Structure 1
């Protein structure tokens, strides 16, 4: 697996173990994608090296892409299960994101847009697609899987 994260600890949770995965899956009522868990086993969330995602639609960020600032892990204050006001359930409620799955990324807009695992077509135990949710709160499919999402992230300088 390529080195996804920068050395910066920001957005990084405690070392991940399988019990944490089972607990959060039970708490959120979903099966997390294997590619997401494998990534978090290397580093439990953090600042990705490649932070921009090309799109074929305009976003509130740019005409042809959006940027993420962090990938959320499990546990800690930035985890998808966090009770600190940064967890997925809280963000969905606070920002009015669609109730289709799990918020997995932090964006520079601090809530105006996000990236989510979308379980609406596969069911809560299936392999979720990845969607971008902009200010209009309409989920737009950007990848069939978390692995595809990671693979399509590029350095932001390549798009500007």
Structure 2
């Protein structure tokens, strides 16, 4: 997707500074640019159509650590009173450990950690697996436009809606400095 088209998908977002440069992120999450064939095969494996806006962002950089890693939350989580934090956004693929269909991908959290089968877990959090961020397809079905939710294992897998869609979620991300950790 051309840069201008991507800027239309994410209006007002500075895409030039969205991602943090990191060798760790490149090795763990960024799996190269996903082809249409790879996107289709990962969607088939996971059982859900990925949001077009997510696919578009992954075609810019296929996973990694955003500069802004905090998302406002409407209620308290085990992480904080008013937000959640994320480590990284998983890329589309199988080869990287932290890609959607990789060894530490979405299915691991359902099959081995007991997370609810609501959709696709696409972002991990600093709690080392005790909370995750997911595309929630319960209201829209596997081909619809999912909302973005936080799933908190420490609170009985409580699900908190963070954004109505992926674009809104990305636009809501804020730097850690916006929150008082004292």
TM-score range, shorter chain: over 0.9
Q: Structure 1 residue 91: deviation in Å?
A: 1.4
Aligned counterparts, 1:50-89, within 5 A: 50-75=68-93, 76-82=96-102, 84=103, 86-89=104-107
Give 4+ residue runs of structure 1 displaced > 4 Å after superposition: none
Aligned partner of residue 91 in structure 1, secondary structure: helix
Structure exhibiting the larger radius of gyration computed from Cα positions: 2
**Alignment size in residue pairs:** 158
Asked whether the equivalents of residues 98 and 138 of structure 1 are also in contact (C-alpha less than 8 Å), the reply is: no
Unaligned runs of 5+ in 2: 1-6, 8-13
Aligned partner of residue 154 in structure 1, secondary structure: coil
Query: Going by fraction, where is helix more abundant, 1 or 2?
Result: 2
Report the TM-score when normalising by structure 1.
Answer: 0.94
The answer as to 2:119 corresponding to 1:119 is no
Q: Structure 1 residue 15: deviation in Å?
A: 2.2
Corresponding residue of 1:102: 120
Report the TM-score when normalising by structure 2.
Answer: 0.83
Quote the RMSD (CA, aligned, Å). Answer: 1.1
Aligned to 1:91, which of 109, 125, 147?
109
Aligned partner of residue 56 in structure 2, secondary structure: helix
CA distance in 2, matches of 1:30, 1:56: 26
CA distance in 2, matches of 1:146, 1:92: 21
